[in-house]
Structure 1
Amino acid sequence: MMKKQLLAISIGVALGTSPLAGIAATGDASAEKIMQELEALKQRVETLQGELEKERARNDQIEQKQAEQAEKVAKAEEKAEASKPDINVGGAVRFNYTVADNDSAGKDRGGDLAFDTFRLNFDGEINDVILSAEWRWYEYMSVIHHAWVGYEFTDDLMARAGIFQVPFGVLPYNSHNFYFSSLYYVGLEDNYDFGVGTTYTPGDWRFDLALFKNDERKWGDGYASGALESYSANVMGYGETSADPYAEGYDASMTNTLAARAEYTYEVSDGFTLKPGVSVKYGQLDSSMPGAYYGSEKGDGDYYAAAAHLVADYDRWNVQLQYTDWEYDLDNADAESLRYGYYNAAYTGPLSANALTANVAYTMPVEWGPVSSLSFYNDYSLIFDKNNDFEDTYMNVTGMAVSAGGVYAYFDIINGKNQPFVAGGGNALTDDTGANTIFNINVGYYF
């Protein structure tokens, strides 16, 4: 069609410029007729030119619509790709080997090997929303470790909600060994609660602010059910006597806790960094929370904890220092000790105390087959100036951590007094149970 139109245009142009144009001036009738035919032909050409322009316009519209449709399809595919969950699934399985100095039967057996933990981790993003969760299985319980969603408003500002680590003290751990420090056993190291929080990192500063509604225990499962099953050490009540955490007591759980932390990173020189910081948290104690353990509502009050801390990194060395002070103020003036629940057992702790932690570690890279690094450490913690003149608690852990591919292993010698989980230390930080030593190996495979 278009070729015919172009041919007609060419004929018209040729005729308009041929010698026939001069014939019109002679007045000859045939010439006049030819001129009329030429005029008609020109009009036809003009009509064809108009139709050609319309056809071109229609083609342009079709091409534009096709381009717009292709763009919509590309955006839809991009949105669909972005909405696909980008979640990494990982986990670990760990085992313990233990020999305790006061367990004669265990020593005769050459120590005991036992299953420790199996866990699953889920970490990633869905439509720019960050997700992190971990569930753990032990021989005696299965518990949530953490589960939160977050969003990065800017490179410096992030918010999260769910069960996450309380921003307090040296982070992420105030220790290098498998058993943590003594502060873990009073809920002041690697503790996880249910709330909302923000982390702001302008320049060399880091600021954390969080509000925790309550702890992460299993609530509402009936009397005593779930109250002791948690990864973190949670206050579950108090007693008017200091010794047996399973004796008669009164319910008291932490609620409406505000935690704030500030830390500054100071680059002293190449390879030498100091991180001084302060932490504080304040909250209420409530005796009417669901899932109560003791079934007696006489545990209202409030509490606070504060800490000054410093982390120093020099070459391969790491040093952690922290001073901590805390107090639980219960309405019952006869209260003597707190009752904690964690790892499916009950423990006692002081209502008020001070603590010092001093840890040092040296990491050495190696190339011994699959072994890539060795970390040597000594972690010391002391809880003193307790209420009711309770005896001090101390724990010293000397050990080595070995990294080999997906395997991470701790070799620890733990000496402690009045320290839970140390053989012979019982379940109390409030009675003089003497000092004991254990040797522990924990081997974990991470995937």
Structure 2
Amino acid sequence: MAALHPTLAEEQQARAAAVLDICIQRHYLAAKDAARLWASSRALQQLVSSRLSSALLLRSVAATAQAAAAGEDMHALRWLLRQPAVTPAMINQCSQQLLAIPGVPLAAAEALVGAGLQVQVTGQQLVAAAYKCFDWLGVWVQAVSAAGVPLEEWAADLPAELRQMCCWRLYGGLTREVIDQLLQDLTPARTADLLAVVFNMAGCGPPGSHLSDAEVMIPRLFLPPTSDAMAQLPAAAVEALLRLAVQVQGRTTNSIMVDYLPITISQLAELPAAAQLPTAVLVELTQWAVQLTGPGRLLLATSLLQLLAGRELTAEQLETLLSLLQGPAAAAAAAASKAYQSWRVPDGRSVMAWLASQPGAAAAAARLGLTAADVRDRAAAALLFGGQQEAAAGTAGGSASSGSGSSDPSDSSDDSDSSSDDSESSDRSLPETSDG
């Protein structure tokens, strides 16, 4: 009879198991919760251990990536990896999912590799992470290197040029001879992938990481033999690289990259396919470029305006570009104004005068509350506001007018990062897709 009727303890354990299963299935239970349950009662230890799974491991690693201070989550991950049920086989069942988690901290990556995770980095993974501006590469390369994993076990599938860039600590610095060998016979697609990875390594990783190699590699990609491959890039590839470059410019702490990127962006803007980019994309990139901090944004914005000038704008696009004259901060507004006056459309007018001549420009300026002091261009003010504010525009803008010579886009004297009004963050992220 005893076998037919479970004891109270058995009933309680069955109920606890059912509740635990529901919590795990519905993602209510994190690794730190499982660790607390396990530590709270000897009776629960076996029950919790029997429910550990790869799904819980994935949630645990994701928690370390998302936490602002991952101390507790990191402690829980280490506890999880010590459990006998979490075997290398279980870990490697979800290896690709683990590698796909963005923002995994180095401590978590090292713990996973130490517990038996077999890392296989593919070119596709590497490039995808680069375009998302994740410091994915540096984390996993450091983790496998620290564990002494042989290069051929984790980077065998990488193209030679990407493997060389990834494993710079193992290969040493790039010499001219090595670069010439790596860049021979690269297709346009592989050239774009290499540039994206170099951007990521130099701009999205810790300060100073991979910087010397990036300094050498970036300008060489625009010279023979890869300059021909760059010139063959389709518009979609040029757009993706421009988006990444602007994003990296907004978040890098490497002073050399801050100087390099605007020049590189201007070179990308001169590629043949750049002229095919949708107007909506160029407006969006110009908006983000002006809102960045630092003197490089003027050259960056001017390069994009070079592609925009003379195109037909929608009312929304026109209003977006005019709104940049108001900020979001004083230095950003000054950068937009100077960029609009620095570049000329084919008929010789400034970009500002060209914008003011667009259908609906006066109405857009009125909706935004623009004044001649914002515009700083007499010809544009006359078109937007009539003769009453034209003189004010001349006073506000000094000698800036549609008949004046083009100023040097690299002149950043009034675009300093030190402005107390320039409070916008330099860590801005671009949307990954455009509406254009």
Whether TM exceeds 0.5 here: the answer is no
Higher relative CO (CA 8 A, sep ≥ 6), structure 1 or 2? 1
TM-score normalized by the length of structure 1: 0.25
- Structure with the larger helix share: 2
User: Computing the radius of gyration over CA atoms, which structure comes out larger, 1 or 2?
Assistant: 1
